[in-house]
């Protein structure tokens, strides 16, 4: 699975760009800072998820002189299938109106595109998975679960709705009987969501440890899933025990919305042990493990977007990361300021090189190339 055509119009400084990337291999995007390299990765991310990883403001992603942006792509699929690719498209206007198309037909929601075009992003902010709050690690798990099982999205939405209603009832100081209605609803949805997360973590952790073995060997590493309430008690017990305090606070203190992944090295939080470069390698291992799990258990190969590969990584670390990415047999887009990013690496990689300058993209080598030492 990968993009064999990408057509971008009026996205940031990319006025009109058409690429024919390698669908299974490395696509290196080179150019100076501010040339549009990251914008190209952002456009792929936007086609998949309908949002940017750099800004929440629509005006920021639509080119200054345009009223709308459009992104179109062909997703290659299993050669054994009757068709070789699926056309996907997205159009967004400054007023917020957005349209999605799949195979020429209008799609109902972005989730339909996302399921066909899974992406995994490695960028300068990925260290937040380790050094920031639990919300980042919950999103990491839930993003993987969204692609992993069709039951997740409904379970997550059900829980979020019940949580919102219970919190609103707590703030309104309604009767205990009415609170109990939403408490029971919350318990039911929490159990399903927690079950999905627990099963996912059980599959994920061995793959993460395998990836770390190649990128960042560590001793005395402990990874624990914290469900958001005391393990020794049922969620129902916790809610009924803490309901009076919930009344006072106006929100639900415990539940899957407080879940976390605890990552310790020598019983110390990993963020307090690892350097920034080591944190990036650790997070790369987390993202690659999630992609491996998606590939092995959901038969979906993600597209990896790696922004500014050399940042915070020495040559040895970069070589290890590229080697591990190559084992995924997936489509990879990598940005760098120099086009010699592969020099000296003893690996064979089907590769295309693209150069970006002032929002224009040119292919540097017309055919696939193998780089090796």
- The tens-digit pLDDT sequence of the chain (373 residues) is 789 999 999 999 999 999 999 988 899 999 888 888 999 999 999 999 999 988 777 778 999 889 999 999 999 876 555 457 899 999 999 988 999 999 888 888 888 888 889 999 998 888 889 999 999 999 999 999 999 888 999 999 999 999 999 999 999 989 888 899 999 999 999 999 999 999 999 999 999 999 999 999 888 999 999 999 998 899 999 999 999 999 999 999 999 999 999 999 999 999 999 998 899 999 999 999 999 999 888 888 899 999 988 788 888 888 889 889 998 889 999 998 876 666 555 557 788 999 999 889 988 864 434 433 3
Pick the closest to residue 30 from 318, 337, 360, 253 (CA basis).
Answer: 337
Beta-carbon contacts of 112 under 8 Å, excluding residues fewer than 6 positions away, are 100, 102
Looking at 261, 279, 300, the residue that finishes a domain is 300
d(CA 59, CA 62): 5
Q: Are residues 146 and 288 in the same domain?
A: yes
Q: Are residues 274 and 160 in the same domain?
A: yes
Q: Are residues 162 and 96 in the same domain?
A: no
pLDDT value of position 370? 43
Write out pLDDT tens, residues 196-224: 999 999 999 999 999 999 999 888 999 99
Q: Where are the alpha helices (DSSP H) in 33-175?
A: 37-49, 58-61, 110-116, 128-131, 134-148, 151-172
d(CA 156, CA 109): 17
pLDDT value of position 347? 58
Q: Are residues 289 and 341 in the same domain?
A: no
Tokens 């627990």 map to which residue? 198
Q: Are residues 149 and 292 in the same domain?
A: yes
**8 A C-beta contact, residue 24 and residue 350:** yes
Q: CATH code at 278? A: 1.20.1050.90
Looking at 253, 273, 300, the residue that finishes a domain is 300
d(CA 325, CA 345): 13
pLDDT value of position 141? 96
**8 A C-beta contact, residue 125 and residue 131:** no
The C-alpha R_g of the chain, in whole angstroms, comes to: 22
Domain hosting 106: range is 1-118+303-373
Tell me 250's DSSP state.
Answer: T
pTM of the model: 0.91
Q: Are residues 134 and 276 in the same domain?
A: yes
Q: Are residues 8 and 66 in the same domain?
A: yes
Q: CATH code at 16? A: 3.40.50.300
pLDDT value of position 367? 40
Q: What angle do CA 350, 354, 359 make, to 5 degrees?
A: 155
**At what angle are helices 176-215 and 276-298 packed, to 10 degrees?**
100
Q: Are residues 85 and 206 in the same domain?
A: no
- Looking at the structure of the chain, the number of domains it has is 2
Instruction: State how beta strands 369-370 and 260-265 pair.
Output: unpaired
Taking the CB of residue 104, how many other CB atoms lie within 10 A of it? 7
Looking at 277, 300, 323, the residue that finishes a domain is 300
Q: What are the φ and ψ backbone dihedral angles of 60, each rounded to 5 degrees?
A: -75, -30
Q: Are residues 136 and 229 in the same domain?
A: yes
Q: Are residues 138 and 273 in the same domain?
A: yes
Q: What angle do CA 72, 336, 2 make, to 5 degrees?
A: 35
Q: Are residues 132 and 256 in the same domain?
A: yes
Q: Are residues 154 and 23 in the same domain?
A: no
């Amino acid at each position: 699975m990968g993009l064999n055509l990408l057509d971008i119009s009026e996205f940031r400084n990319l006025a009109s760009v058409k690429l024919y990337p390698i669908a299974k291999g490395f696509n290196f995007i080179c150019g100076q800072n501010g040339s549009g390299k990251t914008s190209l990765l952002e456009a792929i991310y936007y086609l998949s998820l309908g949002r940017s990883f750099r800004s929440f403001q629509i005006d920021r992603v639509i080119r200054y002189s345009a009223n709308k942006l459009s992104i179109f792509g062909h997703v290659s699929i299993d050669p054994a299938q009757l068709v070789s690719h699926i056309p996907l498209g997205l159009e967004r206007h400054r007023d917020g109106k957005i349209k999605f198309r799949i195979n020429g037909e209008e799609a109902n929601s972005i989730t339909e595109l996302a399921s066909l075009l899974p992406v995994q992003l490695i960028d300068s902010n990925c260290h937040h998975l380790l050094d920031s709050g639990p919300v980042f690690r919950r999103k990491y798990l839930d993003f993987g679960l969204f692609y992993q099982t069709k039951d997740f999205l409904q379970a997550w939405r059900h829980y979020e709705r019940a949580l919102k209603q219970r919190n609103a009832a707590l703030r309104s100081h309604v009767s205990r009987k009415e609170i109990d209605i939403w408490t029971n609803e919350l318990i039911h949805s929490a159990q399903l969501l927690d079950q999905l997360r627990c099963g996912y973590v059980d599959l994920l952790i061995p793959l993460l440890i395998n990836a770390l073995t190649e990128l960042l060997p560590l001793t005395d590493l402990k990874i624990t899933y914290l469900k958001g309430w005391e393990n020794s008690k049922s969620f129902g017990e916790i809610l009924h025990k803490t309901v009076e305090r919930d009344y006072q606070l106006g929100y639900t203190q415990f539940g899957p919305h407080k879940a976390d992944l605890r990552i310790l090295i020598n019983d110390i939080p990993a963020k307090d042990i690892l350097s920034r470069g080591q944190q990036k390698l650790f997070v790369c291992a987390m993202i690659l493990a999630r992609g491996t799990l998606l590939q092995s258990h959901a038969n979906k190969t993600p597209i990896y977007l790696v922004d500014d590969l050399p940042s915070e990584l020495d040559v040895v670390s970069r070589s290890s990361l590229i080697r591990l990415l190559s084992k995924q047999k997936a489509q990879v887009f990598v940005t760098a300021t120099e086009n010699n990013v592969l020099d000296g690496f003893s690996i064979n990689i089907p590769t295309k090189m693209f150069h970006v300058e002032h929002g224009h993209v040119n292919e540097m080598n017309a055919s696939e190339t193998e780089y090796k030492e």
